[in-house]
Every structure is written in C-alpha cells, then in structure tokens.
Amino acid sequence: MINNNVMLVEGNRLYLEQLSNIIRETETVTLVARFRDAKDALGQGMVFTPNIILLDADTPNIMNLLEEFHQAYPHADIICTGEKWSAESSSLYVNAGAKCFLVKPFSSEELLDAIFAFSKPATGGKEAKVMTFFSPKGKSGKTTLIANLAMAISRKTNASVGIIDADLQFGDMAFFFNLKPQSTIVEAARDTDFLSPVSLNSYFVPVTKNVSILCGTKEPSLIDKVSIHSLETIIDMARTMFQYVLIDVPAGFNPTSIAAAEMADTTYIVTMLNGGYEVQHIQRSLDIFSTWPDYRERVKIILTRVEPCTITAKQEMEEIIGYPVAGIIPNAYLDVATAADDGRMALDLKPNSPLSQRINYLAGKITKKKQDNDDDF
C-alpha cells in the first residue's frame, strides 16, 4: 500500500492544531511534519520525505510559494487549502501544479477523497465540456436524451461524466435512474460556501464507474433553496471535476435555464417534432440566443421523435428552420418506455436500435471520436 506521508503547512495557529488532529485521525495517512512558516517547511521539511503537502493558500505570495515547493519537492502532490473556494484562484493553483483545493477545515473523508482523486482518471488539468439542454416546451424527451447520452459518452471515451439535474421543480433524473439520493442540488447549493470540487463530489450519486448525478430537488417548493449564484458555483466546480457535464434545466426561458445556458460551452435546443408550432419555438429561441455574438458556435439543435428519422428529414428541417440540425432522435416510445419499466437504459436494452444509433452518433460528435455509422446525420 502506498504511504500517504503528509506535511502540513498552515499559517493560522488554530487551523494548524485542528488540521493536525484531523490528519492524525485519518486512516492510511501519516502526519510526518507540520510548519506554520512556509519558508521553514521549504528548508527543513525535506528530511521527512512527504509525498503529500497541504499548503495554506491564504498566505501572501502563494503563487511563488507553489513554484518553490514544486522545485523543492518534485515528487510530492500539493493540495492547496483555503477558507473559500473560487473558480479563478483554484484554477490558478491547479495551473501552477497543485492537485486540487480543499476548504478548511476539511474532514478525514474529504482529505481521503482528495488523495483518492489523484488516482482517478484525471481531467488532465483540462476543464470539462459543459452542455446545457434547453427546450422551449416540456416533454421533449430531454431528460431521456441526457441520461442515455451521458452513458454513451462515457462508454465511448471512458471519460468521467457528471449530470446536474437543475430542472429545479420537477427534475426527473433521480426517478429515471431509480435513485433515492441522500443529497441533492439543494444540499449542494446550501453548502457551496464551504465546498470545493473534491467535497462536492460526495453530493453526486454514482450510477456507473464514470457517470454521476447531482439529483434535483425532492419537492417543487425547494426551488427557492437553490439560488442562481449557488447553481453557477456548482457548475464552475463541476467543470473541474468531470470531463463532460450535462445539465438538465426546466423548459422555457427562466433564470435557471438562462444561467445554465450562459455557463455552458454548448447549449442544445431540444424540441420534439409533433406537427405543431415547434419550428416557431426553435426560431424564437434562436432569436433570444442570437444576442450572444458567438451563438452560432454555441447553440445547436436536436430534434426528437422524428418520424421517419432519416437524413432527408433532417435536411428538410434544416431548410425550414434555416439553421443546422446537430442531431435527430427517432420516435421510439416503446423502447424508452420498456427500458424505464425495466430500470435500464434504452441504449442497453436495444444497442442497435435506431434510437441507440442516433444517440451514439451524437455522443461521437460531442467527443469527436469516429462515428459508429457510415451515414452522417
């Protein structure tokens, strides 16, 4: 077993005591040295050969210190600690070589999670691709699509995928996966001030080795507990935790869907083709998104329940809408309903069905891996 020999560098005397005790209580971890002064740690810590350094980031000159610690301890993993996580400073630390950021005071579990996080398929310091799935109206098949797509992406790439159910009143992701989560987006939002990406991880429920879900509220009235600011912080943290993040939002333009769309690299407008006013809905949505100067790169269209689901149907719709269509999903009520009854993914139940093919195709486009099919729609 690998020895976790920790050196604690902490300027605050009270934290030094408190964190020392927590480290001592943590199994598989040994506190080999502790210093209040970072310069002392640089000079004297070497003899203790730490392989993990907890470095107080609330000290002046932290960026220079990080560099000096790296040179002095090239084989140690450095975890920055601080009183509050922020996207900007944390990414600076990580870019400067820190492995992650922990909010003080952390628990034994959080410390172990942080150490364990090093050994997971890393995001390689790169930020996730964040995708928001927006629909002008409800019942477009958006939740079903997100769940299956997340699975397809993780299978194709072995990448880590996070789903955030921000459909704050009537989020269905927990039902979809048959989960009874201990913690949801409500608890995560409540705790954002004390969380870092490492600790937020425990609020996500793993459904496979690489796919985890932050479930939606348990009751519609809890929507008030999730502020837009906390949702934005959660998305910012998730960006550093996964390689792909898929966000489900309530139908229509509302503060939640707008905030999630603004934070996403790609926003998919998901609309069911039902012979109604869908084309107008898409066009009106595009009008609103067109206030973004780069909306043509960031906004993509997915049509669901397309019948017949052919390249000709896709091209016809592109002409009518006047905008490219990124993907089409067939009408496959029986497949999705049978899968739901079975507690399984439509993708698993019928891997070669037109529905699975179209979802795999979209996953291929998102991950830019070679497509499964010869056809290109």
Euclidean distance between the first and the last CA atom of the chain, given in angstroms as a whole number: 49
Contact segment (CB under 6 A) with ligand ATP among 120-128, 177-185, 326-334, 361-369 equals 326-334
Burial of 88 (0-12, 13-18, 19+ CB in 10 A): exposed
Determine if the peptide bond prior to 308 is cis (ω within 30°): yes
Phi, psi dihedrals of residue 287, rounded to the nearest 5° = -55, -45
- Asked if 304 is part of the footprint of ligand ATP (rule: CB under 6 A), the reply reads yes
Q: What sign does the dihedral 253-356-358-242 (CA atoms) show? A: positive
Q: How far is the CB of 181 from Mg ion (least distance, A)?
A: 16
Interaction with ligand ATP in 327-366: which residues (CB under 6 A)? 329, 331-333, 336-337
Q: How far is the CB of 357 from Mg ion (least distance, A)?
A: 23
Rounded CA separation 41/354 (Å): 61
Q: How far is the CB of 159 from ligand ATP (least distance, A)?
A: 23
Among ligand ATP, Mg ion, none, the one that 322 touches (CB under a kind-dependent 5 to 8 A) is none
Q: How far is the CB of 313 from Mg ion (least distance, A)?
A: 24
Q: Could you give the C-alpha distances from 32 to 16, 24, 46, 90, in angstroms and in order?
A: 14, 10, 11, 26
Determine if the peptide bond prior to 105 is cis (ω within 30°): yes
Interface contacts to Mg ion, rule CB under 5 A: 143, 172
Contact segment (CB under 6 A) with ligand ATP among 41-49, 131-139, 191-199, 228-236 equals 131-139
Q: Which is nearer to ligand ATP, 111 or 270 (CB)?
A: 270
- Give the one residue of 81, 132, 135, 201 binding ligand ATP; rule: CB under 6 A: 135
Q: How far is the CB of 167 from Mg ion (least distance, A)?
A: 5
Interaction with ligand ATP in 155-174: which residues (CB under 6 A)? 167, 172
Q: Which is nearer to ligand ATP, 354 or 364 (CB)?
A: 354
Rounded CA separation 85/108 (Å): 18
Phi, psi dihedrals of residue 338, rounded to the nearest 5° = -65, -40
| Interface residues toward ligand ATP, by CB under 6 A | 135, 138-144, 167, 172, 251, 304-305, 329, 331-333, 336-337
